[in-house]
Amino acid sequence: MHDDRSRPPSDPLDGGAAPRQDWPGQRLGLPRTGPRSIARLGRRIAGVTIDWGLAYVVAFAFFDGQGLAITVIFSVVQIVFLVTLGGTVGHLVLGMRLVPMAGGRIGLWRPVVRTLLLALVIPAVVWDQDQRGLHDRVAGTVLVRV
C-alpha cells in the first residue's frame, strides 16, 4: 500500500490537496511562535495600516491628499524599505520582516511584484493555509516575526 506521508506537501495553487497542519507555516518548516514564525493577520493589518497612514500624511502635506499620490507614495516607500531594510515602517515597528521563501537576499523584483499586487488589494485579502497573501505567494516571500 502507498504511504502518502513520504510525499512532500502539495501546493494548494497546483490543485493538490493540502496536508493538515497544526499552525500556519508548519508545512513551510517555520516554528509555531517566536522568531521566524508566520506574522499573524492582526499584526499584518496593523502594519499595512501604519504604512498607508504614513503615505496619507505625506500625500496630504505635499499633494493635498490626492488618492493617486497616496498610492504612489505607499508603493515607493514599500519598495525602498523592503529592498533596503527587509521590511516597511509598519513591519519593523511591529516586529516583522519579509524574507524570500528560497532564502538569500530579497532582491528588487520581489518587492516590486509584491507591492504592485498589494496596491491592487485583492491579492492581499486572498491567502492560503499558511496565512500568506496571494501577493506573497506570487513574489515567493513570507512575512515572519523577528
Q: Which residues contact 83 (CB under 8 A, 6 or more apart)?
A: 106, 107, 108, 111
Residue 46 has pLDDT above 90, yes or no: yes
Work out the mean pLDDT of the chain and round it to a whole number. 87
pTM > 0.95 = no
Residue 109 has pLDDT above 90, yes or no: yes
Percent of the chain with pLDDT strictly greater than 70: 87
Per-residue model confidence (pLDDT) at position 17: 58
The CA distance from 114 to 53, in Å, is 19
Residue 1 has pLDDT above 70, yes or no: no
Residue 5 has pLDDT above 80, yes or no: no
Of 124 and 66, which is predicted with more confidence?
66
Question: Per-residue pLDDT averaged across 51-77, rounded?
Answer: 95
